[in-house]
Amino acid sequence: MTQIQQAGADSQALRTPADYQAQLDEKRERLTQLFAGFNPPALEVHASPAEHYRMRAEFRIWHEGDDLFHCMYAQATKEIIRVDHFPTASLLINQLMPVLLAGLRPHFVLRRKLFQIDYLSTQSGQIIVSLLYHRKLEAEWQQAAETLQADLRAQGFDLRLIGRAHKQKICLGDDFVIEQLNVAGRQLTYKQVENSFTQPNAAINEQMLGWALDVTRGSEGDLLELYCGNGNFSIALAQNFRKVLATEIAKPSVDSAQFNIAANGIDNLIILRMSAEEFTMAMRGEREFNRLKGVDLKSYQCNTIFVDPPRAGLDDTTVKLVQEYDNILYISCNPETLQANMAVLGETHEVARFALFDQFPWTHHMEAGVYLKRKAG
């Protein structure tokens, strides 16, 4: 690899606090202009740590003889950029990266056809490392991997090692980590499963949860949440409502949510494994679902709904469902689709709170939050 390619990987070290504030100010201005037509209150801006904020990282692996390196591909130039440290990722990931490679280098069976390493870290100190291969993993690999895991644990890393290949997943222990988040003076526990969705920026996640708690404080009635994932928001918000009903389609996320409900001692939250579209049909009596047996939807007095949809936003049918609730809490990872949904929601609701969460510093992307209340009359 050339020196230019190496320098490209280290350029983040040149960033300053003033640089961070400048990119945050640009996002503030862009989001404010995007929603000016809805007459929102002053934008509440939640800054991220400028580095070591991302709890996940994925790297391709570059081999040179018996050596190997973390690398990334520059899409624009097609260059391969060697990455020895990565300020975007958590400090724990950065600490483990060189130690892991040092443990892999002496062992051909661990290096052979290794093409990617994925890291999932936590604030609690637990970390998962997934080694991805273009070959079948045999007993010899597992024996060497178990030795490597033991060596890394002896060096102080609370590590879970996983090997992946085509139609193979070998877990040397758990395939999940336990995260601890501090939200409004309370510690919450979350199970996070390898290769499933988790919030990428833990510090911003804590701020989003705190903001959601604040805007719904004093709420009456029950809460409905669509796209609940591992229960990230619904578990935190349960204290503000009589009962919470949440939906999620991905089985690993539902399993994690059930674990998290028990771990946090939540007794007023039910998770249904359904898509938002299916739940919409059930609520309108258009179709019955076996998964709803034993759940009396009519017993819920949901006057608040929370949605945190994918980048595509809410489909037209779900927007109409959401519009039926007096209070709408909407977290969006794509402000453009939030703006499109607001063209409908804004007909009946006004923006009571408006927030920017810098989930992805140094990128064009940002997270937005709005709390909508039904217009008087």
CB 158 within 8 A of CB 126: yes
Quick one: 150 and 76 in the same domain? yes
* Residue 13 burial by Cβ neighbours in a 10 Å radius (0-12, 13-18, 19+): exposed
Inside any domain, residue 307: yes
**How many Cα atoms are found within 13 Å in the side-chain-facing hemisphere of 211?**
26
- Bridge partners (DSSP) of residue 69 are 62
Residue with tokens 């070290």: 13
Please state, in angstroms and rounded to a whole number, the distance separating the CA atoms of residues 332 and 315. Answer: 14
Active site residue 367: yes
- pTM for this prediction: 0.92
- 173 conformational bin, left if phi > 0, alpha if psi -120 to 50, beta if neither: left
Our count of domains for the chain comes to: 2
Inside any domain, residue 300: yes
Inside any domain, residue 276: yes
Which residues, 6 or more positions from 266, have their beta carbon under 8 angstroms from its beta carbon? 235, 238
CB atoms inside a 10 Å sphere around CB 357? 24
Range of the domain at 75: 54-177
Q: Which of 177, 192, 216 is the last residue of a domain?
A: 177
The answer to which of 43-52, 89-98, 137-146, 224-233 has the lowest mean pLDDT is 224-233
CATH of the domain at 250: 3.40.50.150
Q: Which of 29, 333, 347, 350 is catalytic?
A: 333
- Bridge partners (DSSP) of residue 31 are none
- pLDDT digit string (tens) for 162-206? 999 999 999 999 999 999 999 999 999 999 999 988 899 999 999
User: What is the overall mean pLDDT for the chain?
Assistant: 93
pLDDT bin (cut points 50, 70, 90) of residue 155 is very high
Please state, in angstroms and rounded to a whole number, the distance separating the CA atoms of residues 309 and 335. Answer: 11
Quick one: 29 and 106 in the same domain? no
